Amino acid sequence: MSIAFLIIALVTLGSAAVAMSLRNLIHSALLLIASWAGIAAFYLWAGAEFVAFAQLLVYVGAVSMVVLFAVLLTRQSRVDMAIAPDALRRIVAALLAGGATLGVLFGAVVSAPLPIAASATPVTVSVRQMGQELMGTHAAALLIVGALLTVALLGAIILASTGREDPPGVAPPAVAPPTRKTS
Amino acid sequence: MLMSVTAAHVWLIPALPLLAAGIGALTPRVGRRLAAGAAIVALAVSFLLSCGALVTALADPAAHLVHNFAWFDLGDSAVRLGWLLDPLTAFMCVMVTFVGLLIFIFSTGYMHEDANFTRFFCFLSLFAAAMLGLIVANSLLLLFICWELVGLASYLLIGFWFHKPEAAAAGKKAFITTRIGDLGLLLGMVWLYDATGSLLFYDGGNGVLETNALGALTAQFTIGGLAVSTAIGLLIFCGAVGKSGQFPLHVWLPDAMEGPTPVSALIHAATMVAAGVFLVARVYPLMTADLPLTGVPLHALTVVAAIGAITALLGAVIAVGQSDIKRILAFSTVSQLGYMMLALGVGSWVAAIFHLLTHAFFKALLFLGAGSVIHAAHHEQDIRRLGGLRRPLRVTFATFAIGMMALAGVPFLFSGFWSKEAILHAAHGWTVSPLPLYVALAGVVLTAFYMTRLVAETFFGTPRSETAEHAHESPATMTVPLVVLAIFAILLGFLGTPAWPWLQARLEGRTEIHGHSLADGAGLMGLSIVLVALGIGAGWALYGRRPRARAAATDPIEGRAPKLFHALRQRLGFDELYAATVGRISDGLAALADWLDRSVWDGTIRFLARLGVFAGVVNREADEDVINGGFDAGSEGLRRGANAYSHAQTGDAHGYLRVVAIGFVMLVLVVMLGGGR
Amino acid sequence: MSLSPLQLCLLFSSALFCVGLIGALARSNTILVLLGVELMLNAANINFIAFWRFGPAPSPATGVMFVVFSIAVAAAEAAVGLALVIAIYRHQKNIRLQEAVRLKG
Amino acid sequence: MTKFPLLSLLVFTPCIGAAVLAITRRASASVARVLTLLFSLSTLGLGLVAAASFDPTRTGMQWIEQHTWIEALNVHYRLGLDGLSLVLVLLTGVVSPTALLASWRIKSSARAFGALFLLLQSAAIGVFLALDFFHWFVFWELSLIPAFFLIKLWGGPAATRAAYQFVIYTIGGSAFMLLGFAAIFAATGTLDFIRLAQEAADGALAESLARAGGWWPTAVFLGVLLGLAVKVPLFPFHTWLPSTYAEAPTGVSMFLTGVMSKMGVYGFLRILWPLFPAQLHAVSGVLLWLALGGVVLGAFAAMRQTDLKRMIAYSSINHLSYCLLALFAVSAATGGPKPAAHAAAAALSGTILQMFNHGISAAALFACVGMIESRCDGRRGLHDFGGLRTVAPVFAGLTGIAMFSSLGLPGLNGFVGEFLIFRGVFGLAPWAAAIATLGLLATAVFLLTFWQRVFHGPARGATTAGFAALSGVEYATLVPLVALMFILGIWPQLLARLINPLITTWAGHLNLP
């Protein structure tokens, strides 16, 4: 097994774990960007270049920015950041649940009689091939994903922008009630 | 002297008292004269008819004159009943009507102050009708019907003073105890009906007591190798055991003394209790049918003899320990009925009937004498509190003494002596076992002893209570019957002496009389005379020479053997024994049945209902609205479930996620462990 | 014992999944919870690639296509999720998940 | 003569009475009572007409009426009368008016009570006369509706529960019966009792049922058995009975025990036994034990009751079990090697006589308890009274006669039936007769206990306050019943004449198909 994989895995897991445990959200976000980059590296290592680039673009580029914006938009005072009284209990519960999941998954993976790779040579997929696949076999899925993204972005805008221009006491515009309700 | 009464007319003998009973039932309380008059006149006419019937029967004593008729249709035949006239019937009829008539007359004096006077005569007439019907019946079914009616009348009369709880309880006890025996009789009857297709005693060759039927009955065998005739005979005997107060169903008879004294005299001494003896005598051909059989485990008559012997001894022994004047006489009745059964068992039914007839007279005399004493002493029945009554109650004393000597078997002059001799003679001649003879001889001593005790305590010595001091003789309506009965208690014996056994011969259907010299059975007779003397002497020595001084003084026997005396006073614990066994068992069975009902059957149903098969069938909780209750319960359950589930919706995203994680872990584990590979 | 590359990759993805899960369960900050979920999604994507690369019968592009779509959906999810975070913040002036319970039944 | 629709008149006159009562809104209570009584008496009158013109030597149905009703389903309106039906119609005719008289003083709305009662009476007669299962079942179920309302609206404190229990339990049972008959109809295409009985005798019925599967005849038989067993009731399906009888108003209790319980026994005799002789024979051993359970445990359970009405209700279980005991004994002996025609004739006659006699005496006893109850503020506990005979000797006498009739004293009506049943059962199954005597004994014990506690001893409890003398209406209730007890006890030929040829025919054809 290549050293590269091990390094990638360690970096990815390490940065993700540290990100999840830090109190500073900006740090957490930055470490997660590292983690996502690690995953992109894994994709490259595995021979899925297109996916790796997609990962970089979407996560490292876009999602991270959204996260940072969200963090900045929701800055809280120090008092608010105080650890909730039941935090410890929750953490223990989380560790137990996570540990159990980990154990079960590891056990499953190790004990599963997975077939050994049939071909040692990696199969490469050219961008042209991908394009043909996307527009051919998976055309419907592509359209649906497009629609989904559009709807999601519209929804995100509506959710995030609610009531900005509403004077207090006046009935919200037609789009507002569902927003209010869901929030 | 009389019109000739044939079998077709014999139904009039019971019908007249029945009519009188109907009149008595419909007469208002003020109509005392009408009710009593109707009863007495009816019975008097019945007596005359009975005499006519006796004349007819004696003209041809061997014949069984019958008159049969269909009661109702059944299948391709019919259920038939009938009337019978033969010497047995005729003698019994005369005895019952005559003794009954005297007791009716006595009752007009004895019951004079009772508010329910008319009712009393109604019941007495009903009893007389049923008893006479029983006697003239030519069908076991008709006999059974009258038998039960006799029991009803007895029940009503024992409980006549129903406001006394003891009287009401005694009536119930008598009815139920005798009914136990009657169920045996019922089974015997249906068995007989099933086996022979008829219940008529005599029916021109087709009756159950005639050769054809008896042959068929002895040819079949049943459980335990018994001949069918034996089994049926024993079942019928069960009825006799109940009615005649034989061991082990004798417990009701002493309690029956709660009734008015004339009732005790008529029903529980002279007539009804003798019905058992009469029944066995009536079906005697059936009882004896198995005697020729050899190799059968048991003959019916052996059981009869054994039960009779046990009862004769038991009654006499217990009588020694009693102190109520009527209870002593009651146990003496039990004992004497035992003698009669013994006589039947050892094969001499004529001796039994002879003793039945004489006993009826002298026991009725004794009871009426006791009634006279009780009446005179203002309802004081305890002999320890009486005493010295021979002076104020001269007639009563004289007649009572005659009755006592007849019962004790004082030789030659008194009827009881002759009939008892006949029984002893028969027991002596029984080849199966000598035990009945020994028992009977022991009973002779005891009888003489306790009767002497009774007379000595009651009539001799000094009065031991207020009431006894102020006793005065009863009115003529009461003393005249005593005198008449006393005369018959003496005379009747001469109808059946060994020298001139007229009665026995007629009963057996013979016209010629084979007398034999008294010397033939002189040994046995001498022995019994000695025993009687012994009993009377012992009684006089203990109770007569030094009379009781105070009511509370201890009994001489009690002083010598207190435990024995106490046991005798407690009647050897039979009541307690039955209460502890039969009573307990039936209570337990009742509790079980009730519990089964409440818990098991109802519980099963309710369980089914709960299962929702028919929601709310027995839903006690949803009392008001059972069906809606079922629906309500269902929707309430749904609502509760939804509530509980909505409590799971905490809104806590972490919680949800945790649950998902745990669920995932479980799923994977299940897949792994379940081998889902 | 020796592990095949496929198993190693799967172990890696499992670990990443659990890190995400623990983060999502342990942290009270809604943004971090979302990021934990994001990590779990990524772990799933890694599985797709691993099976595509080392699996028994690799078809030319299926695994890759799956991941592409998955990333697209994840992007949409992240956008909506973070918008929700902002909406929550506007309501309760913090983003503690355990306080956002007003939708409970 | 056959043109005259006598039987329809019998069935529907009470129905018309109910309708008349329903529309005469302004009739006063006393007018309503008299109207009810008159319409109710019509059954007795028409029943006597039928009895007078009845030809007992013909064993088939008489006065048959037949009209096509629902052609598509081959359902006909068919009525007929034989000895069995006639006896039961007469019983209804006697019990119904007396039950009405016993309810003469009900507190509220005599009109509604009368209408419902007449409907009930009509349904009962319909059951006894119908010859086609379709409307037989309609009458059978119809009887429940008025009974339900009568119990619920005029009953005691726990009447609602008792009414529901009664109706649901009975309907539950008859649902199975309906299913059974649906299967029969599907297999044979007819619901005519007589034709079905014919087919059953030939063995064709079981055959056509068995075409659907070998267990079908048994299943259908069990369904019908269950429906009837609940109605009679057969032990242990009797648990609805004591509370129902105890809670119902007195008149309705009289009708329930006097007539409705007979509907079940009638069903056994008219439907189950003729249609399923082989199946009944196969299970008659078990059923004999169940009937014995009813005889013995019913009587013993009565010993434990302290509520007089419940006690008499249990005695009803005991008495009705005698009927079933006899029938099952006959069925058990059917097809056996022993020529048992005589015993069977006795058992079957006993059953029918017992039905009539029990109807009379149980109704009278309920009437007596109702009279006690109405005078003592609704108290009817065994220990609430004492010395009643001192204050009310005539009433005590009448109650005593009813009681002794119930315990089978010879000379009164109860004896004849019981004697015949014992005679028959002994010939067919001797052990059963021997065990059943226990029931006789226990009956004597609890009835005498009743009599002793309530009527004897010093006056105490509710009795000390006095006891009003019987009114004319109450005499009119009790005296006819008591008179019948004497008449039938002394002259049973009166009824035996009507049923004997029929019984003889039945007993002569005890064959299995």
Three-state SS string over B65-131 comes to: EEEEEEEEEECCEEEEEEEEECHHHHHHHHHHHHHHHHHHHHHHHHCCCCCCHHHHHHHHHHHHHHH
Full DSSP string of D192-225: BHHHHHHHHHHTHHHHHHHTT-TTHHHHHHHHHH
Q: What integer pLDDT is reported at residue D89 of this predicted model?
A: 92
Q: How far apart are CA D273 and CA D507, in angstroms?
A: 12
Helix (H, G, I), strand (E, B) or coil at B193: helix
Identify whether the C-beta of residue D455 lies closer than 8 Å to the C-beta of residue D399.
Answer: yes
The residues with which D70 forms a beta bridge, in sequence order, are D75
Local confidence band at D306 (pLDDT 50, 70, 90 cut-offs): confident
The domain containing residue D349 runs over which residues?
Answer: 276-513
**Residue B591 sits at the chain D interface (C-beta within 8 Å):** yes
Q: Is B526 exposed, middle or buried (0-12, 13-18, 19+ CB in 10 A)?
A: exposed
Mean pLDDT of B288-296: 80
CA dihedral B125, B127, B128, B134 (to 10 degrees): 150
Which pLDDT value is given to residue A172?
43
Structure tokens at D229: 């067993």
Tokens linked to B619: 């839903």
Q: Give the chains touching C; criterion: ≥3 Cβ pairs < 8 Å.
A: A, B
Q: How confident is the model at residue C41 (pLDDT cuts 50, 70, 90)?
A: very high
The answer to whether B520 contacts chain C (CB < 8 Å) is no
Contact D456 B168 (CB under 8 A): yes
pLDDT class for D3, splitting at 50, 70, 90? low
Query: Any contact of A with C, at least 3 CB pairs below 8 A?
Result: yes
CB pairs under 8 A between B and D: 182
State the smallest CA–CA distance between residue C83 and chain B in angstroms.
17
**Residue C51 domain-assigned?**
yes
- Angle, in degrees to the nearest 10, between helices D413-428 and D393-406: 20
pTM above 0.80, yes or no: no
> What residue type is assigned to position B344 of the chain?
L
| Dist. CA D439–CA C46, nearest whole Å | 86
Mode of pairing for the β-strands spanning B77-85 and B496-497: unpaired
pLDDT band at D339 (very low <50, low <70, confident <90, very high): low
pLDDT of residue C18: 92
Chains linked to B by 3 or more Cβ pairs within 8 Å: A, C, D
Residues of chain B found within 8 Å of residue C35, distances taken between Cβ atoms: none
Cβ proximity of D423 and B194 under 8 Å: yes
**Confidence band of A176 (pLDDT split at 50, 70, 90):** very low
Would you call the peptide bond into A178 cis, given omega within 30 degrees of 0 as the criterion? no
| Helix or strand holding residue D4 (H, E) | none
Instruction: Look over chain D and give the mean of its residue pLDDT values, rounded to a whole number.
Output: 85
Question: In terms of Cα–Cα distance, which of D272, D292, D262 is closest to D334?
Answer: D272
Of C24, C36, C60, the CB nearest to A123: C60
Give the E-state strand segments of D243-287 in sequence order: none
pLDDT of residue A77: 55
pLDDT at C79 over 60: yes
**Which has the minimum average pLDDT: B362-371, C58-67, D176-185?**
C58-67
Residue B148 · residue D409 · CB < 8 Å: yes
Min Cα–Cα distance to chain C from A52, Å: 10
Distance from CA of D9 to the nearest CA of B (A): 31
How distant is the Cα of B628 from the closest Cα of chain A, in angstroms?
A: 39
Is it the case that residue D11 has pLDDT exceeding 90? no
CA distance B635 to chain C (A): 20
Mean per-residue pLDDT, D7-26: 86
Burial label for B206, CB within 10 Å (0-12, 13-18, 19+), is middle
Asked if chain D contacts chain A via 3 or more Cβ pairs within 8 Å, the reply is no
Residue type for position B84: L
CA-to-CA separations, B103 to B51, B109, B223, B378, B477, in angstroms, rounded: 18, 10, 46, 20, 10
**Closest to B561 (Cα-Cα) out of B571, B573, B569, B552:** B569
CA distance C55 to chain A (A): 6
Q: Over 80: is that where the pLDDT of D348 sits?
A: yes
Q: Do B597 and D239 touch (CB under 8 A)?
A: yes
pLDDT at D88 (0 to 100): 92
Asked if residue C103 has pLDDT above 70, the reply is: no
Query: Is residue B394 less than 8 Å (CB to CB) from chain C?
Result: no
Cβ–Cβ contact C56 with B under 8 A = no
D neighbour chains, 3+ CB pairs within 8 Å: B
B312, B440 Cβ separation under 8 angstroms: yes
Q: Which two tokens stand for residue B402?
A: 């005659």
Asked if pLDDT for residue D163 goes beyond 90, the answer is no
Q: How many CB atoms lie within 10 A of CB D365?
A: 27
Residue-wise pLDDT tens digits, A25-82 = 888 888 999 999 999 999 988 888 888 988 988 888 888 888 888 888 877 655 445 5
> Among residues of chain B, what percentage have pLDDT more than 90?
4
Using a CB-CB cut-off of 8 Å, the residues of chain B touching D238 are: 597, 601
Q: Is B592 in the D-facing interface, judged by CB distances under 8 Å? A: yes
| C104 in a structural domain | no
D28: CB partners within 8 A, 6+ apart: none
| Cβ-Cβ contacts under 8 Å, A90 against chain B | 654
Helix (H, G, I), strand (E, B) or coil at B298: coil
Q: Is the pLDDT of residue D512 over 70?
A: no
Whether D452 and B169 lie within 8 Å, measured CB to CB: yes
B572 touches chain D (CB under 8 A): no
Chain B CB contacts of A107 under 8 Å are 672
- State the ipTM, two decimals: 0.64
**Residue B624 contacts D, CB cutoff 8 Å:** yes
Q: Which pLDDT belongs to residue B5? A: 74
Instruction: Give dist(CA D351, CA D348) in Å, integer.
Output: 5
Q: Coil, helix or strand for D76?
A: strand
Taking CA–CA distances from B620, the nearest residue in chain D reads: D161
Query: What is the per-residue pLDDT across D93-150, written as a single tens digit (0 to 9) for each?
Result: 999 999 988 888 777 788 888 889 999 999 999 999 988 888 888 899 888 888 988 8
B649, B652, B657 member nearest C24 (Cβ): B657
Is residue C16 scored above 90 in pLDDT? yes
- The nearest alpha carbon in chain A to B665 belongs to A101
CA distance B607 to chain D (A): 13
Interchain contact B658–C (C-beta under 8 A): yes
Percentage of chain D exceeding pLDDT 70: 97
Provide mean pLDDT across the span C83-97. Answer: 81
SS3 D334: coil
To test the contact with chain B by mutation, choose from D160, D161, D455, D485 the residue with the greatest count of B C-beta atoms within 10 A, namely: D161
Q: What is the pLDDT of residues A104-163, one digit of tens each?
A: 888 888 887 776 655 555 667 777 888 888 888 888 888 888 899 888 888 888 887 765
How far D178 CA lies from chain B's nearest CA (Å)?
16
Chains contacting A (3 or more CB pairs within 8 Å): B, C
What's the mean pLDDT in B331-338? 90
pLDDT-derived band at B578 (thresholds 50, 70, 90) equals confident
Which residue from B minimizes the CA distance to D489?
Answer: B145
Interface of C with B in 62-101 (CB under 8 A): 97-98, 100-101
Strand partners, D77: D67
Contact B315, B339 (CB under 8 A): no
Of B654, B662, B672, the CB nearest to A90: B654
Q: What is the mean pLDDT of residues B605-633?
A: 53
Answer whether C105 touches B (CB < 8 Å). Answer: yes
Q: Do B159 and D456 touch (CB under 8 A)?
A: yes
Å between B348 CA and nearest CA of chain D: 32
In a domain? residue D65: no
DSSP conformational letter for D234:
P
Number of domains in chain D: 1
Domain membership of residue C11 (yes or no) is yes
Torsions phi, psi for A65 (to 5 deg): -65, -45
Min Cα distance D295 → chain B (Å) is: 11
Distance CA D509, CA D503 (A): 10
Hey, what are B559's tokens? 């002083």
Let me know if residue D43 belongs to a domain. no
What is the tally of structural domains in chain C?
Answer: 1
* Partner residue opposite B661 with nearest CB, options A90, A97, A108: A97
Name the H helices within D103-215: 110-129, 133-142, 144-154, 159-188, 193-202, 204-210
CATH of region A1-74: 1.20.120.1200
CATH number of the domain residue C31 falls in:
1.10.287.3510
The Cα–Cα gap between D35 and D51 comes to: 24
Confidence tier at D281 by pLDDT (50, 70, 90): confident
Question: Which of D57, D151, D168 to mutate against chain B (most B CBs within 10 Å)?
Answer: D168
Residue D238 DSSP SS3: coil
Mean pLDDT, rounded, of chain B: 82
In SS3 terms, B373-424 reads as HHHHCCCCCEHHHCCCCCCCCHHHHHHHHHHHHHHHCCCCCCHHHHHHHHHH
What's phi and psi for D191, nearest 5 deg? -125, 15
Taking the C-alpha atoms of residue C52 and residue C60, their distance in angstroms, rounded to an integer, is 9
With cut-offs at 50, 70 and 90, classify the pLDDT of residue A85: low
Least confident of A159-173, B19-33, B478-492: A159-173
With contact defined as beta carbons under 8 Å apart, do B199 and B189 qualify? yes
Of the candidates B74, B183, B596, the beta carbon closest to that of D441 is on B183
Measured between beta carbons, the chain D residues lying within 8 angstroms of B187 are 422, 426, 433-434, 437
The mean pLDDT of B48-68, rounded to a whole number, is 85
Mean pLDDT, range D418-435, rounded to an integer: 89
Question: Which residue among A97, A105, A108 places its CB closest to the CB of B662?
Answer: A97
Q: What is the pLDDT of residues B195-212, one digit of tens each?
A: 888 888 888 888 888 888
Q: Domain range spanning residue C47?
A: 5-99
Identify which of D388, D390, D385 has the alpha carbon closest to the alpha carbon of residue D461: D385
Give residue-wise pLDDT tens across range D194-240.
888 888 888 788 778 877 777 888 888 888 898 888 888 887 888 88
Tell me what percent of the residues of chain D surpass a pLDDT of 90: 14
- Calculate how close chain C gets to A130, using CA atoms only, in Å: 7
Residue C9 lies in a domain: yes
Residues of A in contact with C12 (CB under 8 A): 5, 9, 12-13, 42
